[in-house]
Structures are given as structure tokens and as C-alpha cells.
Structure 1
Amino acid sequence: MDIQETIRQQVTSNHIVLYMKGTPQFPQCGFSANAVRILHTLGVRDFLSMDVLRDPELRQGIKDYANWPTIPQLYIHGEFVGGSDIMSEMFQSGELRQLINR
């Protein structure tokens, strides 16, 4: 299976997926740490996290999949939401909570 199909399966078979640098317990960049902090603040503990630092093919593949150049990337209900900045904006406005809870 190619990386694009693997990613497609991950984002469509899990409610929330975060592609990040590191793990939720040990984020390896400030943006990934911010993304995890936002999800935890919203009470989200059960999500699939994928460490792109462990797999160079995944790291490039997720950028190609969303046509988005940066990590982290958040997917909810199979749809690309955005990175850390977009998550922060959506968190502040309440949009992210609504999206997670729908």
C-alpha cells in the first residue's frame, strides 16, 4: 500500500488524527505541543497521533496529501482542519469544539 492510501485510511477510520513531531507525551516542537495542548484543553484524549519524525515517507506524504507544507496537521471526521495556528484561531472562536463534537 502506498503512503497516500495509508494516510487516507488513517484519517477516514479515526475520528481525530494529529500528524505531529513527536508524541502527545513528548512533543518535539512548540507547534506540535500547542496542538496537543488545545486538544487536551477541549477534553480530547482519544485521538490517533502519528509521529512524522519516525517516518520520512510519512512526513513528506502528509504534506502532499493535504497540500499543506507544515506539521502538525489535524484531521477531524476525515477532513483536513489545519495546523497549529488555525487550531488556535478555531479554539479561540469555539469552532474547533463544535467540529470535534459534531
Structure 2
Amino acid sequence: MHGVPFQAHNVLESDELRKAIKDFTSWPTIPQIFLKGEFIGGCDILLEKHQNGELIEDLKKIGIKSKILAEMEEDMKNKKD
């Protein structure tokens, strides 16, 4: 939806890796979301950030322009023309 390239790693394939990621983040659930190596939270946090617009700002901070923002800007530009 935001047009962001991503990587996914199935930590459920390894009990050791699953425990390590939970210990690393102190977050009890999987999946876990990271932006440029910084832990953001789980799916619930990501959804909340998407719904309230914070995700667009978080992406902007790391140099990624959300597809949603680009489309909104294009729509505003077209309305002016």
C-alpha cells in the first residue's frame, strides 16, 4: 500500500531464532516490524501507525516517500492545474 520494498524472514522456522528475536526486542509476539534496523513493533502497532498517518512520517524520516503521500500530492497538484 505504501510502495515500500521489504524483506521478510521466517523466524518461526527456528525455535532459537524466534526466542532470540523476542529477547532482542522485548516484544512478545511475531511478526515484528523493523524500519532500517529500528524495531517499530508488531502488526498492531504498524496498523495503528498506518491509520493515524504516523507511518508516512516514520517512512519519511528514513528517506522513503510513501506511495500514498505521493498519490495525495499528485492529486492536489492536478486539482490546482
Range class of TM-score, shorter chain: 0.5 to 0.7
Quote the sequence identity (%). 48
The answer to whether 1:42 aligns with 2:2 is yes
Structure 1 residue 93 corresponds to structure 2 residue 52: yes
Correspondence for 2:29 among 70, 81, 88? 70
SS at match of 2:9: strand
Q: TM-score, normalised by structure 1?
A: 0.55
Greater C-alpha radius of gyration: 2
Aligned-residue RMSD, C-alpha: 1.1
Aligned counterparts of 2:38 and 2:53: Cα–Cα separation in 1: 18
- For 1:96, give the aligned amino acid: L
1:1-102 equivalences in 2 (<5 Å): 41-44=1-4, 46-102=5-61
TM-score normalised by L of structure 2: 0.68
Distance 1:49 1:80 in 2: 14
For residues 65-86 of structure 1, what are the alpha-carbon distances to aligned partners after superposition, in whole Å with 9 as ceiling and x for unaligned?
0000000100112211000111
- Rounded Cα–Cα distance in structure 2 between residues aligned with 1:52 and 1:42: 24
The whole-number CA distance in structure 2 between the counterparts of 1:87 and 1:63 is 17
The number of equivalent residue pairs is 61
Q: Give ranges in structure 1 of 5+ residues lacking alignment.
A: 1-40
Unaligned runs of 5+ in 2: 62-81
**Structure 1 moving runs of 4+ over 4 Å:** none
